[in-house]
Structure 1
């Protein structure tokens, strides 16, 4: 009887291990090289993890450009190229929302999103915002400044749960709280841009679409990562993303995981 129980426990342990061999590392990045974070630093992180697969925050067209345009200097692609040169069998895939840039332009989210924030800022400086609106905007700018200070530190600092919480607070401030100002004030309904199809869209409607797209894009990216993890089991997968996306991707990956993978930090 004891031997039977022991065999069962060993079998169960082996089953659990086989279900969690795929490892996913979501690394939040600063896209452009700065003194505290540049391609050599990211390359050293990749060398430490030794991933079988590297996922890039681009769509399929962006991935083609990454692989063909040797003049690109961003942190992620430069470090990725260095790693692939050393480990040629490394697989690389895109995981972003397909047609991201054109989709946003076609819908009128771009450039209304930035124009709306600039208009809020001008109203703030002109002291035309209501007290409640001032509080919303100052919360947004203060949280942005807080993140900018963290981004001046080593990559471990902007890849920690505490920073993820600040990132979530900042993105909610942008896409939920600022939206309250945009929806409430008439200025945003009276200013327009012209979409590629020739139709006009107001700052208000464009910013509202962009707010919804933040959720759609991150949820889509998490699903794409999940599909790759299912397609390539028992691999080490590194996800290279802007650090403002990290909290959302981690949350979604934990939510949809059915035991296909474990999520790890590069500094553990």
Structure 2
């Protein structure tokens, strides 16, 4: 009888350990529209969070941004408003930043900001006045068409901008911006003659600044995915929600799949 009891205890113990060892970490990468719009508000996002019941929420900010999120009294973005509401009901939920550290200052210091926006505005002006050649016009028209397509999708429910089809369109749009528009920038003299002043007082051309931003798109997304991955190694068996702009979703998911060695599964919120 005593031997049987010990056997039962040992079997139960090892069964428990095996079960604990095999609890799968779940990651939900939710692509967001940052500002509240009729079809996507913080309440809608809260409903998604409440359905998932995450143990951790990761925000697309760096450490400084996370501190500002926590300390600020008023909020604008859907993500932090929904996250705060969720935390008020589930106070044990952990929250962490996952963005490229010092993102905003890094871009300013290197002259990527404001050259990126100024470059696209100049391309747009050249396009509208018919100053672009045929090949360049095709490139920019393709970029505009993809942008318009995504804007239409962003007016629908969150399931529409959180799926593989939209991820593919987002990827095509971002590659049009950072791999195709740069061809115009590199071949037109206006982007070499126009400059801005960096915080250190040095001049930087639109061409150089835009090329730097093109490289930073890859660096930032890979860094974000790596930061998310590192969280999964520290919080195994947890349910993790990643809140990001929906244009980043395709890149982050692709990188997380590349980094994964059976440590987690990536799921969609609407598949629960």
TM-score range, shorter chain: over 0.9
Gaps of 5+ in 1: 1-10
Distance in 2, matches of 1:64 and 1:86, equals 20
How far has the Cα of 1:19 moved from its partner? 4.8
Say whether the 8 Å CA contact 1:113–1:210 is kept in structure 2. Answer: yes
Distance in 2, matches of 1:16 and 1:162, equals 35
Give the corresponding residue for 1:8: none
How far has the Cα of 1:24 moved from its partner? 0.3
The answer to whether structure 1 residue 142 and structure 2 residue 145 are counterparts is yes
Q: SS of the counterpart of 1:37? A: coil
Q: SS of the counterpart of 2:158? A: coil
Give the corresponding residue for 1:47: 50
How far has the Cα of 1:18 moved from its partner? 3.8
Gaps of 5+ in 2: 1-13
The answer to whether structure 1 residue 102 and structure 2 residue 90 are counterparts is no
Give the corresponding residue for 2:227: 224
Runs of 4+ residues over 4 Å off in structure 1: 14-17
CA displacement, residues 186-239 of structure 1 (integer Å, 9 cap, x when unaligned): 110000000000000000000000000000000000000000010111100000
The answer to whether structure 1 residue 206 and structure 2 residue 197 are counterparts is no
The answer to whether structure 1 residue 236 and structure 2 residue 239 are counterparts is yes
Say whether the 8 Å CA contact 1:20–1:260 is kept in structure 2. Answer: no
Say whether the 8 Å CA contact 1:19–1:260 is kept in structure 2. Answer: no
Say whether the 8 Å CA contact 1:27–1:159 is kept in structure 2. Answer: yes
Task: Select 2:156's aligned residue among 153, 156, 165.
Answer: 153
Distance in 2, matches of 1:70 and 1:258, equals 41
RMSD: 1.4
**TM-score, scaled relative to structure 1:** 0.93
The answer to whether structure 1 residue 130 and structure 2 residue 122 are counterparts is no
Pair member with larger Rg: 2
**TM-score, scaled relative to structure 2:** 0.92
Give the corresponding residue for 1:91: 94
How far has the Cα of 1:20 moved from its partner? 5.8
Give the corresponding residue for 1:66: 69
The answer to whether structure 1 residue 187 and structure 2 residue 190 are counterparts is yes
